[in-house]
Chain A
Amino acid sequence: MGSNEQTVLQFVPSPASVSARVHPLVIFNICDCYVRRPDQAERVIGTLLGSVLPDGTVDIRNSYAVPHNESSDQVALDIDYHHNMLSSHQKVNPKEVIVGWFSTGRVTGGSALIHEFYSREVSNPVHLTVDTEFRSGNAAIKAFVSVSLSLGDLQLAAQFQEIPLDLRMVEAEQIGFDVLKPTNVDKLPSDLEGMEASMERLLALIDDVYKYVDDVVEGRVAPDNKIGRFISNTVASLPKLSPYAFDKLMNDSLQLGDLKPSKKKYKLIEIRKRTTILETTYFLYLLHPTS
C-alpha cells in the first residue's frame, strides 16, 4: 500500500450537477403500464427516451415498457422487444434517444443489473423510480444516476445517487388539470366553458387580493411591503381612465349604437368580461412566478 500513495477513494463520475426533467406523458405511461402489468409481476420496467439538453439536464419525454422476468438473483430482459420498440420510436422521432430506464417501486437488488444493461446502451443512464404502490405514503418519483466508488483504478462498488428531478408539468397545465386529474370527465370543456372557468378563478384571485388589502388596512394582517409593492405596480400598470372615458372608448370601438337591443345585451356581457380580463390579466402577469 505504501508504494501507491496517490490512490484515493472517490466516486466516478463525481456526482456533478446532473438533473432531470420528466414530462407528464411519461408518468401517465408508466402508470398505465403498471395497471396493465402481467399477473405475477411485481413491477414493470422500461426504457426512457428523450434528450440531454445543452445545460446537462436530462429531458425525459417518452417511455415504453419492456417485458422482463425477475427472480431472486437474476433479471431477464426482453432485449429484442426493447430494440424493436426503440427502432419504431426512432422512425417517428429520431431526435429521441435512450436516456435511461424506469421501474415502478423502488431501487432493488436487480436494479443494478438492469442499470448495467442500460449503461451499455447509453453512457450514464438515468434511473427513474415511480412509487406506484404509494409505499412511502406519497407519490414519490425519484431519479438516480449510478456512481461507482473506486480506489484508484480498482472499482469497489456502485451506488445509486439521487439527482434533482423537475416535475413541473407545463404540458399538462396547458391541457388543464380539469381533464387530467379526475378519473372521469363527462365532457371536454368547450372554448366558452374553459373561458368561464378561467374567469372564475381570476375573480376568486381578485377577491383574495381585495381581502388582503382590506385586512391590512383594518390592521388584521401584518403588512408585507413586498406584496404591497406588487399590488401597487399592478394597479399602476393600468392606464387611469375615468369611467366615462372608459365607456366611451368601449362604445366607440364596439359601435354599440348600430346594434339591435338584443344583440346589445349580449355584447355588453362580452364587454364586462373583457374589462375584467383587462383588469386581471395584469394581476396575473405580475403574480406569475416567471415574469
Chain B
Amino acid sequence: MVDVPLGSTGVVAAPDVEDVELYHPHSWVTKYVFSQDAKIIAIQYAFVALSVGLVALVLSWLMRLQLGFPGVFTFIDANAYYQFITMHGMMMVVYVLTALFLGGFGNYLIPLMIGARDMVFPYVNMLSFWIYLLAVLILVASFFAPGGPTGAGWTLYPPQAITSGTPGGQDWGIIMMLVSLMVFIIGFTMGGLNYVVTVLQARARGMTLMRMPLTVWGIFTASFMALLAFPALFVGAVMMLFDRALGTSFFMPAIVEMGQPLDRNGGSPLLFQHLFWFFGHPEVYIVALPAFGIVSDLISTHARRNIFGYRMMVWALLAIGALSFVVWAHHMYVSGMNPYFGFFFATTTLIIAIPTAIKVYNWILTLWRGDIHLTIPMLFALAFIVTFVNGGLTGLFLGNVVVDVPLSDTMFVVAHFHMVMGVAPILVIFGAIYHWYPKVTGRMLNDGLGKLHFWVTFLGAYAIFFPMHYLGLMGIPRRYHDIADMAFVPPSAHTLNAFITIMALIVGAIQLVFVFNLFWSLRHGREAGGNPWRATTLEWQTPETPPPHGNWGRHLPVVYRWAYDYSVPGADQDFIAQNQPWPTRTSGAGHG
C-alpha cells in the first residue's frame, strides 16, 4: 500500500462556499464526553452498540446451549429461554444494527464523505446519542427488574406479551421494553433528522447527489425510511403500554387467563401486527441499505474498479426503499387475512427481488476483470454477497404464501432471516470497521488476527445457519424451549442441533479476537497514513488523520468527479480522488 503524500490532491480555496459555524469544545468533557463532534458521537454510538452486541451474543450462546443440549443447563428454564431469545432479537435488530449503521457509520461517514465540517445540528446530534444510551440502560436494567426482562419474543405480539403466562408480561419486563423502544425512537429521530438534512444541505461544492458515494446514498435512504417507519413501532408501543398499564383494550381481545376472564374485550391483536410489521419490514432494509452502500464502496475500492452501473445502484436503493413500505403483511400470512391481500403482498415481495438482484449483478460485474485485492474488508464484502444471495433466495421461498404456510414458525425462517439480515449486515459491519479503522485511529488493524476472525466468522456462521434450513424443512419448530420429546424429531436433528451450538460457541468466541484486535491495534497497529487503501472518496483526503475537529483544516474540499475513478486509463495513479481537479478527460472510455 502506498501512502499518498498530502497535498497531492488539490484542496482548492473556496472562498464563496459558506462555511458553517463550528462549536468549539473547551474542555476534555465537552471534547470527548458531551461532544458535539459527529466523529466522537459516532465512536460513542459504535462503542455502545458493539457492547450491546456482545451481550446479545452471550444471550444467543445461552439459548443455543439449551437447544443443543436440552436438560443439561438447568438454569435455562422455559422462562429464561424466552427472555434470552427476546432480548437477543430486539438488541441485535434495533440497538445494535440500526444504531451501528446509522448512528455509528452515519455519523462518522456522512460529514466526511460529503465534504462537510460536521452535522448541521450538532447539539441535537449529541442529544441523540445520550438518549440512545438511556434507551440501552433502560433495556439492560430490565434484566435486574422484578420478574426479569420480557420474554414475549422480539415481535412482542399481544395478547401474550402482556399476560401473566409470559415472563415480564405482568411484571416490569414488558413496560421497560416498551419505554426503552420509545426512548430509542425519540433519540433516533433526532439523529435521523441530522443525517438527512446534512446530506441535503451540507454537501461540499461540486458534490451533486449523483457524485455521492453509495455509502452515503445507502445511509441517507435508510435514515429517511427509519424516520417514517419507526413511528409505527412508537404508536404500537404507546397503545400496548396503555393496554398493559391502564387497562385499555386496543389489542386485548376478550380473554381467559388461568381460568379467569380478564376485564378486557374487543381488542385486535392483528392491529398490533400491522403496526409492528409496518415498522418491522422497512427495518430489514433500514439495516440492509447502508450495508448495500458500504459494500459497494468496499468492492469498488478493493477491486480497483469503478462501480458498475452507478445510476442503477442509486435507483435500486430508492426503489427498494419505496417498495419496502408495501410488503409488511408478508410477515402475517398465517395470521389470517383476505387471500387477495396475500396475493398482493406476495407480489410486492417478489418485485423487491428485482432491484435487489440488480445490485447483486452490479457487484459481481464490478468484480469482473477487476484487480481484486483480497484485503480483509474485501473478504468480508465477498462473504456478504454470498451470504446475502443465500438468505435472499430463501426469502423468495417464504415470500410465497403457499410455501410460507408450512415453513412458518419453523427453523427455516430463523435460518432465513439470520442469513439475510443477521449475518450479512454483520459481515459488512466487520468489513467496514477493518476498512475505516485506519481513518478513525490512524493505525491499521492487525492483518493476521483479521484473517483468523474473518474465516472463522464466515465459515462458522455458515455452519450455524445453513444446516438450520434442513431442520426447518424437517418441521423443527422455532420458539420451542425443548423439542426432546417430540416423536417426529429424528436423532439426527438432535445431533445437528448440538453441532450448531458448538459452532455458535466457536463463532462467538472468535469475536473476542476481533475485540482484542480493536484495542491492541490502537497502540500497536501499523501506522496507516492518510489513505492506506488508495481510495477516491473524500474522507481519505483529509489533511490530517484521524481528522481533527472541523475535518478539513482551513478550506472545505471542492469535488470535481464522482466517487469511483479507479484504474482510469491514462491516469498516473490507479485512482483519482474526488477533490482532484486533474487530469481532465474528454471521453468516458473505459467507464460505465
Q: Are both chains from one complex?
A: no
Chain B residues at the A interface, C-beta cutoff of 8 Å = none
Q: Residues of A with Cβ closer than 8 Å to B?
A: none
